[in-house]
Structures are given as C-alpha cells and as structure tokens.
Structure 1
Amino acid sequence: MAGKEIAVKKHVVRLSAEERAKLTDFIGSGKRSAQLLTKARILLKADVSNAGEGWSDGKIAEALDTSVANVERTRRQLVEEGFEAVLIRKYNPKCARPRIFDGAAEAKLIALACGPAPAGYARWTLCLLEEKVVELKIVEKASDNTIGRTLKKTFSNRISNSNG
C-alpha cells in the first residue's frame, strides 16, 4: 500500500474481487456508452482494497481525461446507490421531448392517411398530412418528419414522401 495515495474521503471505494472482475469484463466488452466505461475505469482506479490502485481523484481525472467532480460523483454514487447503479444509465424524463402525437391524435392521423386523398392529388403526401393535421387541430404543429415517423410505426407504403 506504499504507492497508493489515500486521502480522507467521505465516499471510499472498496471493491470485492467479484466487482473488480465485473468492471474489467464491462470495460473489455466495449459495448457500453463512453460515460459508463469511464465510470467503470474510475472505480477501478479509485479502489483502495488490496487489489486496487487507490489513485487520488486528481490523478484519475487527469489519466481518464475527465473532471475531478465526475470522479467524486462516481464514488458517491457507488457508496450511496450501490455497485449496479453506477453501471446503468439513468433515464431523465426532462431530457426526452414530449410526444406530439398521443394515442388519440395518432389514431386520427392514421385514419386521415387511410382516407381519400385531397382533390387534385392521387395520394396523401407527408407535407399534405402535415398541413391537414394542423388545419383539423389534431395537433398544434408537426413536421413532415414527425408525421413520417409516426406512420412508419404502423404502415407507410401508402404515403409518398414527395411534395406533390
């Protein structure tokens, strides 16, 4: 333990051999987000157990090209929420955009798209549908991309992506 820098910390990382093996496999798979891989590397470097490296937060931050605050948050999350919580990406509902088409509006859009095309057109286009759903006050506003994505979930071969 002579080479380890151990400072008095509120959230100390002590990993079991099993947890270290899980983290090593986690990093080795490379099939996770960069954020989660960095957290796994932070835990391995911050581990003060006999098998760990016990690096300081500053040294970890420099080596992994991250911030000291990120290292501190990761240590705190391990201690407060547990090992598994660190390796799962949290869903933040504030980051997700609210859906424009709820179930009822989506049903009205599908019914409209399945119905006869407007006069002068052989079939509905995404732009025509975009204008019509706003005109009929099904939704306040929508783009042709949103219309296309919504319809693609159910069907899309009757809709043309052309403007006319």
Structure 2
Amino acid sequence: MPAKRYIVSLTNEERQSLEQLTRTGKAAAAKINHAHILLKADVNHPDGGWKDQSISDVFNISTRTIERVRQRFVEESLENALVPRVRHSLKWPKLDGEAEAYLVATVCSSPPYGCSRWTLRLLADQIVALGYVESISHESVRQVLKKTRLSLG
C-alpha cells in the first residue's frame, strides 16, 4: 500500500475548534463527519494518525471521501475541508420554452389521422420530426406535460 500523500497535521487551535464542532453537534452532518475525519487523521495527536480504512470502518464513511477531505485540508484550508463541494447537475432540459409551448399546443389539437388520441410516443416523434430537438424520449415528454399539469386523458 502506498504511503499517504496528504498528511493531516492540525494545530492545537484547529484541533480544539474541531473537537468543539463534533461535541456540540450544531452543524450539518457532513461537516461533523469531515471534522471527525480530520481529528482521527491528525498525526500530531496521540489519538490521531488513524489509517483511512479504520476511519471508514468506525464512522461508516467511504475511504474516497476520507482521501478527498485530507487532500482539501492540505491543498486548500481547514474551512474548505469541512464543507462538502457543491454538486452541480449536468442535466440540461431537452425542451426550451418554445418547444414546450408547441408541445402543449399539439396536445390540445386533434390527433393525427388514424389515431384516436395523442400518445407520449406520438408527441415525442412529432417534436423530433419538426426539428425542435434531435431526439427526445416519451418520458421527457411526460415530465413536461406533468410540469404543465396537462394530461392526455
């Protein structure tokens, strides 16, 4: 097993503030967990210097999270190591406002010849055929209709 790249070395003031944070319990759970990680990983304290796997077993936190907290403490700061990173969703909506408006108008219109009503798949095919999007699933169409409180029935 390779040697640890990011060694946590806390000052007395940092250790006291982390112990205070874990004792009071008046913070977000992730922040308290990160404080526990730093306290147990601290090589300057007799109770510290634990291996990542031991910390993981005791606090039920993944070893990858422990590695990231240690890295952020060493590379950035104590404050940054305590606060988890904000996760940004990379999902972009398939339909813009214009396409949504067309979809709603289509649902309100009469169905194509030979069909008794619009289905989600028919609507998806119609949106693609008219060039509003390159591809779209019937589930995405359903979610748009649900958002606008429209039903096909």
Give the shorter-chain TM-score range. Answer: 0.5 to 0.7
Aligned residues between the structures: 142
- Whether 2:47 is the aligned partner of 1:53: answer yes
- Give how far 1:16 is off: 4.8
* Conservation of the 8 A alpha-carbon contact between 2:21 and 2:35: no
- Whether 2:79 is the aligned partner of 1:83: answer yes
* Conservation of the 8 A alpha-carbon contact between 1:129 and 1:147: yes
- Give how far 1:101 is off: 1.2
| Mapping for residues 5-154 of structure 1, pairs under 5 Å | 11-14=8-11, 15-23=14-22, 25=25, 39-47=34-42, 53-56=47-50, 59-64=51-56, 66-67=62-63, 70-79=65-74, 80-83=76-79, 86-92=82-88, 96-154=90-148
Where 1:98 maps in the other structure, the secondary structure is coil
Mind listing any 5+ residue stretches in structure 2 that lack a counterpart? Answer: none
**For 1:89-109, what per-residue CA distance to the aligned partner results, in whole angstroms no more than 9, with x for missing partners?**
42245xx23321122222222
* Conservation of the 8 A alpha-carbon contact between 2:124 and 2:141: yes
Where 1:146 maps in the other structure, the secondary structure is helix
Give the aligned CA root-mean-square deviation in angstroms. Answer: 3.6
**For 1:103-140, what per-residue CA distance to the aligned partner results, in whole angstroms no more than 9, with x for missing partners?**
22222222222333333444322111111111111111
Identity across aligned pairs (percent)?
30
Between structures 1 and 2, the one with greater helix share = 2
